[in-house]
Structure 1
């Protein structure tokens, strides 16, 4: 593909509450064995993008560990590869990334040293499959300056927390509002953009001169009447995990057979780092209904409508329902957990009871490992 990829993975999101206190949102576990950034990386390698950069910043340790080998996404190559950039103090700059445009500006040498004519920019906190070649073909056919991947959301979705767009009959974007108070359209931006590399360099350099740091506000919205900005409609599955409720419902979506089939049985595949773990073990007396159980887990109790991530231990007579158990969690005997997200590496005492009522409860326990 005649494009390089940029994944913006450096932001913090306070709407994820305790879940983002120790990890970047792009490193959030998804569907038992994946991280949210895996979907953007898989889309890039499946689209034959040979050179991709990930811009990290906030709580990047877990994300950097996940990305320590590029072979999992087929970026281990002589030409191109996977690059991970973090803010660095230089003679000219001592700032952290002050926005998405500033993140690109601080790594402008990556763009200038590349030779591909186009750039695909995407966020790393969305779950979707997309062939970027189709977006690029659309971009070229429309003779667009910038192409924004958009999606029409159902009426029940609160679109005020997204950037909303309004297009004319030719799909040219006429209005772009970032997180409007009252949305006038249900079409949102998916945070995926295609732009010509030289033009992106020019616009970023101009933003830098004017102390402007946000890609959406200072490029898309500011230039919408000056540049030819078009929208590409995405009709397939797309979810953004910007809130705890979104994260919970996205994982619950993978309990639906049609969603699992779409992501894991239909070409192209979704790739992730593989851990050397044994298969899940179900001991005598365990019961599992409509759940995802990952490798390295040991199940003794009952699990229903839940997603259990790697290396979780579920004790005797436990009842787990409508919950997400993250990596390396030990749950003591006779424990009841319902409508909860249990943080990774937690140790839940025996005979505990946790249940979410009005919203999803996040369980944080830092006990010693009890066997009771």
Structure 2
């Protein structure tokens, strides 16, 4: 994998996550108690031996850059290669099925040209998994493919995972014969992970050619429009996958982590998942605390009841408070006697004493960052 450079494309639509992305890009959304979504793809890169990583930014990326810093936590603070932030010349949030990411790739072609690796692994941040890219890259080389896209095959019962997704149809040998972006009625159950292996020089040529012909989107204008001209193959991924495309999917996949088997696979299957280090004391449980089937991060103080929930770093649950089927992000505070059920509290949310907030399992109530109720 030393011949691979990684590019993380943050031009990802998050129309259905507006409550959580008003002040941050999708990649910076907190997840699983201590992590951000981008931690998973960064960790997968470094665990697979990819040490040259460029991040194509989009929208308001201040919180993301504060989280990543020099890349030290992912062993990417290096004298040679390492982590590179590739700035966007566009303003505003990413919207629609076809975000205008091609212009930013074109404006950062100097970085791609100057890199010494032969091939590129292009990925986004919304796909959460623990994957070793080596078998997929070996498949890419054996097939002599121009592009190899990773996908996961779902049963019809999991059709909700197809929302705002790219779907593939493949022949028996893995050759991709069709690709659809955000289809209303998908003709395949093969969900693209939006992870692509491609020759570096070929990527440069496709970006340059598509830009000169008025293209705007890498996946559509560089890949799909050249489906008949390129050898594009699909490689199946069979492990656990969480695709964050809406508030509901964020809530559902977060709750899945309370299953020890899923948690173990996501964080340890093919290497550890790394994140920004914060030196805080372990979680503290006071005398009247009652915690069941929950993830509680360091720095938290619990004096009330927490059931089937996720508490991030520095959360305080006061005496007689109840947190049920909920996600409380960093430095949240649940006042004495307050009750929250089926609720997502963003960072720095404070619920006053005695307040009662309830959403539904299939429609969680989201409280935006910094809100006091």
Q: Which TM-score band (shorter chain)? A: over 0.9
Q: Deviations over 1:38-70 (max 9, x none)?
A: 010001101111100111122211111011131
Q: Matched residue of 2:278: which SS?
A: coil
Q: What is the Cα-based RMSD across aligned positions, in Å?
A: 1.9
Give the aligned partner of residue 359 of structure 1.
363
1:286 to 285, 289, 306: 289
Give the aligned partner of residue 128 of structure 2.
127
Query: 1-side partners of 2:310 and 2:151: how far apart?
Result: 29
Give the aligned partner of residue 255 of structure 2.
252
Q: Deviations over 1:275-331 (max 9, x none)?
A: 111111101100000000001101010000000001111111011111000111111
Preserved contact between residue 293 and residue 309 of structure 2 (Cα < 8 Å): yes
Preserved contact between residue 12 and residue 24 of structure 1 (Cα < 8 Å): no
Equivalences, count: 365
Preserved contact between residue 7 and residue 54 of structure 2 (Cα < 8 Å): yes
- Say yes or no: does 1:179 pair with 2:182: yes
Query: 1-side partners of 2:29 and 2:240: how far apart?
Result: 19
Kindly report which structure 2 residues correspond to 1:23-172, keeping only aligned pairs within 5 A, or say none: 23-88=24-89, 99-156=100-157, 157-158=159-160, 159-172=162-175
Q: Matched residue of 1:140: which SS?
A: helix
State the TM-score, normalizing by the size of structure 1: 0.94
Kindly report which structure 2 residues correspond to 1:244-323, keeping only aligned pairs within 5 A, or say none: 244-323=247-326
Q: Give the drift of 1:367.
A: 6.1
Q: Give the unaligned 5+ runs of structure 1.
A: none
Query: 2-side partners of 1:46 and 1:314: how far apart?
Result: 36
State the TM-score, normalizing by the size of structure 2: 0.94
Query: 1-side partners of 2:56 and 2:330: how far apart?
Result: 25
Q: Deviations over 1:10-33 (max 9, x none)?
A: 445120131111111111111101
Query: 2-side partners of 1:132 and 1:367: how far apart?
Result: 41
Query: 1-side partners of 2:237 and 2:273: how far apart?
Result: 18
Q: Give the drift of 1:95.
A: 11
The 3 A distance-change label for structure 1 pair 266 and 146 is closer
Query: 1-side partners of 2:300 and 2:334: how far apart?
Result: 11
Q: Give the drift of 1:216.
A: 1.5
Query: 2-side partners of 1:32 and 1:145: how far apart?
Result: 39
Preserved contact between residue 27 and residue 125 of structure 2 (Cα < 8 Å): yes
Q: Matched residue of 1:39: which SS?
A: helix
Query: 1-side partners of 2:288 and 2:341: how far apart?
Result: 20
Q: Give the drift of 1:151.
A: 0.8
Q: 4+ residue runs of structure 1 moved beyond 4 angstroms?
A: 94-98, 365-369
Give the aligned partner of residue 343 of structure 1.
346
Q: Give the drift of 1:174.
A: 0.5
Q: Matched residue of 1:230: which SS?
A: strand
